[in-house]
Chains A and B, each alone.
Chain A
Amino acid sequence: MIQLIDVHKSYTKEHETIKGVSFEVHEGQIFGLLGPNGAGKTTLMQMIATLMKPTSGQILIDGLSADKALLEIHRKIGFLTNEIKLDPLSTPNALYDFFANLYDIPKDELKDRRDESFARFGISPFAEKRINELSTGMKQKISIAISLIHNPPVIIFDEPTNGLDILTSKQVTDYLKELRDKGHAIILSTHIFSVAEELCDDIAVLIDGSIVAQGSVDMLIEQAQVNTFEEAFFKIYVENHKE
């Protein structure tokens, strides 16, 4: 579903942020992008979500390129990032309806979908409250509900559990698992090992703009010849990070 072929990105002429990244994410798979701050995770995610264009290389979503079929891709992807915020003065209901209209959700389905989605995350009691009166966790859940409003086959989540408490975090990871089982292709970036370890079928370690290791959790531990995933990551990091 998601296909990256030798993607490069540079903001300035001297420095390349993404240095030739290639990978593939299939249906029913959670692909984890693991890396320290500043490794280029967000840049990569934003490029997959069509917000930025790669300097060179190709990103295909379901075989489509953003140059040619931007809106088609928008219908296929759900993007969540900390950078995207909710209007603080609006209400969950109003926001959901607004985006449902923008995504052209059939009007007769709109209310049922909203109720279902809000019920699942426990948003319903807060549906008429202002966003700025809600907690961080609630906001994140609303963001997730809205980003998946059109039931996209491709889900791009940038640090979805960042800043959430354990309970909410678990709700989110459970939901992601459920989506995977339904056959969605999911790519998520994180710097939390436990999340990566628990969720991801395939993990790519991104350091300084390049993927230095890729495989399942067990594979990575085995390759690094250590006991835990955390140790494996540190070993990979030390080996590959240049001062």
Chain B
Amino acid sequence: MSAKRGIKTIIGSFFQKRGQLGAKATAASFLVSVVFVIILFAAVVSWMIWWFPYHLFSDEVYNVVVVNAPESFIKYNEQTQVYRDREAKEYGNPNDFFRNYKNILSFEYNFDGYGRTKYIYKENDALYDFVSFGKWMRENDAYLTIVFPNDFDDQLLKRQNGLTDEKPQILTYYRTNSLEYSDMKNEYIDVHLSGYQSFIRAGFGLAITSFSDSEIVEKPIPTVGSANGIRAVVESLCRSFLPILIFIILLYSSMSIGTNVIAGQKERGTFTGILLTPVPRYGIVIGYLCGVVFKTIIPAFFIATIASLAVGQFSFTGFLALFTYIFVLEIFIASITILISVINDTVISAQTAFLPIFLTLVAVCVTCIQSINEREDFYMYLPVHGQFFGIGDVFVGKTDYLGLLISSLITLLLSALIIFVIERLLHSERYTVSIDSVDAKEVKSRLEGGKPTAWESINKGYDNFNFIFNESFYPLVVLSVFQTLAMLPVVVSYMRKAEYSAFIQDLVNVSTLKDIFDKTFEVFGIFFKDPLFLALMTVGYILIIITYFIHSGRVWKIKGMKNKITACGYPLSDKKHIILHYILGFIFGFLMMTCTVSIMFFTGQLTFSGFSLKLSGIGVFLFNLLMWFPQGASEELMFRGYMLKSFEKRFKPAVGIVASSIIFSALHSLNKGYTPLASVNLVLIAVLFALIYYLTGDIWMTSAMHTAWNLSQGNIFGLLVSGNSSANSVVTAIYSDNSSSLITGGSFGPEGGLATTAVTVVCMVIVTVLLVRKMRKKNL
């Protein structure tokens, strides 16, 4: 009786609004989760690269195989080639956004690859030899085979002379592994073969006849060994992506909830109280287990339901099987997390201990994905493997009930074993009584004397480390989140472009860290010429600014948006002051850049190409200009308005200046062409901006300077901005043959060169003098 009510009560505590488990996550557990997310992200990306069926999405496949081509067809083709060439020329330039944007956004498959279709001529007496036709199509990246009878032209002649009423047949064979191919086939027939029919009518004088003079027969060629078209893609997603998604949801939520239960209660000292109640140990274990299972299973069920509806899996038994798989799997995972929770005394140690198990289970999932096509039946009966394959099978609609039964039984048996072990452990005082909790230690150390003990110093050091780590990590997280969001639509649209599918395929070869960065900046290089990307980035930077206002308000406990903005270094009260500072900042930034470029120009490092702004690129140019404004402001807000102030509040202003500047520089280290000199320069520039911030008391001026610096660098002088090239500039700087990258900064842009160092140092001296003067005045 008591056990039942005890179990119910413990489960209930999981769902209480201010319940037992509302413990705040510590900074360390946050770090652990961040690391998890990064690892998972990297893992998912790496899987994407090899399992993603690029061959189905690549519109490289736009060639056509022509078998037994009659002379008339070859002639017709030669004539139409002119139009195709023109088309290819028109659509060929991917940078020509305004003419091409429709294709970039919609990504329709084009039946002739925007004029780049090649005709592959073959001979074959057998008109129905679809095996050869399929082979030729695969070999030649073709989606269509047109087969003429050997004597097509003769047959036409016969018809022309009234010798026969029989229409000669044109057979078309097309690939079916993507629905796009049948669309392309239809379009090809509508345009090219109809055109060819008109051509032969004219050529053979049959134009007056009211009916077609050849019959087009369409024959699909199924891809051997797999389901057709879209279905194949969906199936591969069902068997790999969806199961792993569900696994990760279960693992992650079990980890965050499951490791917290007993270890968290031990850490907080509340566990002993529960152990002293007349609820049997098994009741406590089952209560916690059910609590974790019920709480974590809700999101998993939700996602599973949506996913199965999305892939068209509506059967009741299918749902039942899916839920059974998930439920059993969750019991298994939850029992492991609780076991770990019992063994550990703090949440952090429990989560750290769960990490290897988490990764092992994810690794099992990866091996499952790798062996999807050649799995043995035996795997269906194993725990974890069984659930992974089973969930995939259910999504595809082929539930293996025997596998479900056996794998569930074995998994439950294993879970029962683990639960038994947990119950035994709860009888041992090693895992139940914490004699020296952390708090007790602290109290002890304080009683022993006023001096900080080693423990306290370590704690303080750890606190500071955490603070610095979080502060430097936050901008990276915010930046990458919003940049990724801005990139996604552009990436998706580029993925389908012929020019870039090769690039994406090339990503498979990426192996080293350097490759990854190089490729990333290659992508950036392409994107920076795309107005869509620039516009999205502009929005992204504005969102970053808003995020920072909200974040800093929360950290500093400031209410009211206006106060938050002011606290971040953007005082709003004095409009004249704002305008004056902004315009002055803009002029200063421009002058600084001009000085830098002048130094390089007069020392013979570079020359200018003259006016190079192209009218066609004016849109990109304007978008790019627009982007620099929130870009500069967001970086100033991140590093001066917020970070510098945070550091200053905790440490001293000097520490703030140095730390924020180093972090500012370090975050640019991922950019292309980053050199030690560039790092020093960026620190110097950051220090300069920080000094100006102290001089003016706000970041209006530095924001404008930052914007003007980048804008003039990239879009006026046509130089690289921290390793990124701009789309269009007023003049283009060309480095001389004998230029020294020590002065010019090489592939990082002027910010990596001595010219910038010189200008920045001079400015720093001026600002420091002004600052000292101002402080003296204040003191007088």
Contacts and interface: CB of A to CB of B under 8 A. Distances in A.
A38 to B, nearest CB: 11
Given A53-B429, A89-B18, A84 B272 contact: yes
B22 A89 contact: yes
Contact of A101 (B9, B20, B270, B273): B9
Interface string B734-757: 000000000000000000000000
Contacts of A86: 270
Contact of B429 (A51, A89, A103): A51
A94 B19 contact: yes
Interface in A36-67: 42, 46, 49-53
Interface stretch (B107-115, B274-282, B574-582): B274-282
A71 interface: yes
Interface string B256-285: 000000000000111011111111100000
Contact of A94 (B18, B23, B269, B434): B18
A74 B20 CA distance: 22
A169 to B, nearest CB: 19
Q: Which of B8, B272, B278, B437 has the most CB of A within 10 A?
A: B278
B432 interface: yes
Given A84-B270, A87-B270, A91-B18, A51 B23 contact: no
A52 B433 contact: yes
A147 B280 CA distance: 18
B551 interface: no
B2 A71 contact: yes
Category for how many chain A residues contact B: 20 to 34
Nearest to A75: B278
A89 B23 contact: yes
Given A51-B276, A91-B18, A102-B277, A85 B13 contact: no
A99 interface: yes
A49 B276 contact: yes
Contacts of A79: 276
Given A74-B278, A90-B19, A51 B9 contact: no
Nearest to B13: A98
Nearest to B265: A87
Contacts of A50: 276
A199 interface: no
Given A99-B273, A102-B9, A87 B278 contact: no
Contact of A146 (B22, B273, B432): B273
A84 B278 contact: no
B277 A103 contact: yes
A136 to B, nearest CB: 12
Interface string A94-133: 1000110111100000000000000000000000001000
Contact of A102 (B272, B279, B433): B279
A83 interface: yes
Interface string B1-28: 1100110111011001011101100000
Category for how many chain B residues contact A: 20 to 34
B264 to A, nearest CB: 10
A88 interface: yes
A71 B280 contact: yes
A51 B273 contact: no
Contact of B5 (A46, A84, A101): A101
A102 B270 contact: no
Q: Which of A77, A83, A86, A91 has the most CB of B within 10 A?
A: A83
Interface in B540-571: none
A151 B710 CA distance: 75
Contacts of B5: 101-102, 104
B513 to A, nearest CB: 42
A104 B18 contact: no
Contacts of B433: 46, 51-52, 83
Contacts of B269: 83-85
Please report whether the interface of chain A is mostly helix, strand, loop or mixed according to DSSP: loop
B276 A101 contact: no
B18 A98 contact: no
A130 B24 CA distance: 14
Nearest to B283: A102
Contacts of B22: 89-90
Interface string B598-639: 000000000000000000000000000000000000000000
A71 B10 CA distance: 17
Contacts of B440: 83
Interface string B277-308: 11110000000000000000000000000000
Contact of B6 (A49, A85, A94, A102): A102
Nearest to A87: B270
A94 B16 contact: yes
A51 B434 CA distance: 10
Nearest to A42: B435
A146 B275 CA distance: 14
B268 A104 contact: no
A125 to B, nearest CB: 18
Interface in B179-221: none
Contacts of A147: 273
A71 B18 contact: no
Contact of B273 (A46, A84, A89, A94): A84
A146 B20 CA distance: 15
B20 to A, nearest CB: 6
A90 B22 CA distance: 8
Q: Which of A42, A74, A87 has the most CB of B within 10 A?
A: A87
A103 B432 contact: no
A104 B275 contact: no
Contacts of A104: 1-2, 5-6, 278
A87 B5 CA distance: 20
Interface in B506-551: none
A98 B272 contact: no
Contact of B18 (A49, A77, A103, A130): A130
A147 B2 CA distance: 17
A83 B437 contact: yes
A9 to B, nearest CB: 10
Contacts of A83: 269, 272, 433-435, 437, 440
Nearest to B273: A84
A102 B6 CA distance: 5
Contacts of B432: 51
A142 B279 CA distance: 21
Contacts of A94: 16, 18-19
Contacts of B6: 101-102, 104
A46 B554 CA distance: 44
A114 B432 CA distance: 28
B277 to A, nearest CB: 4
Given A52-B433, A91-B18, A101-B8, A74 B268 contact: no
A87 B279 contact: no
A64 to B, nearest CB: 13
Contacts of A46: 433
Contacts of A90: 16, 18-20, 22
A51 B23 CA distance: 25
Contacts of A52: 429, 433
Given A51-B429, A83-B434, A85-B268, A74 B9 contact: no
Contact of B274 (A53, A88, A89, A102): A102
B20 A98 contact: yes
Contacts of A130: 18
23 contacts: A49-B276, A71-B2, A74-B276, A81-B272, A83-B269, A83-B434, A90-B22, A91-B18, A98-B9, A98-B13, A98-B20, A99-B277, A101-B9, A101-B12, A102-B5, A102-B274, A102-B278, A102-B279, A104-B2, A104-B5, A104-B6, A104-B278, A147-B273
Given A77-B276, A87-B270, 5 more contacts: A49-B276, A52-B433, A71-B2, A85-B268, A101-B6
The 10 closest A-B pairs by CB, nearest first: A85-B269, A101-B9, A102-B277, A89-B22, A74-B278, A71-B278, A104-B2, A52-B429, A75-B278, A84-B272
Interface of A: 42, 46, 49-53, 71-72, 74-75, 77, 79, 81, 83-91, 94, 98-99, 101-104, 130, 146-147
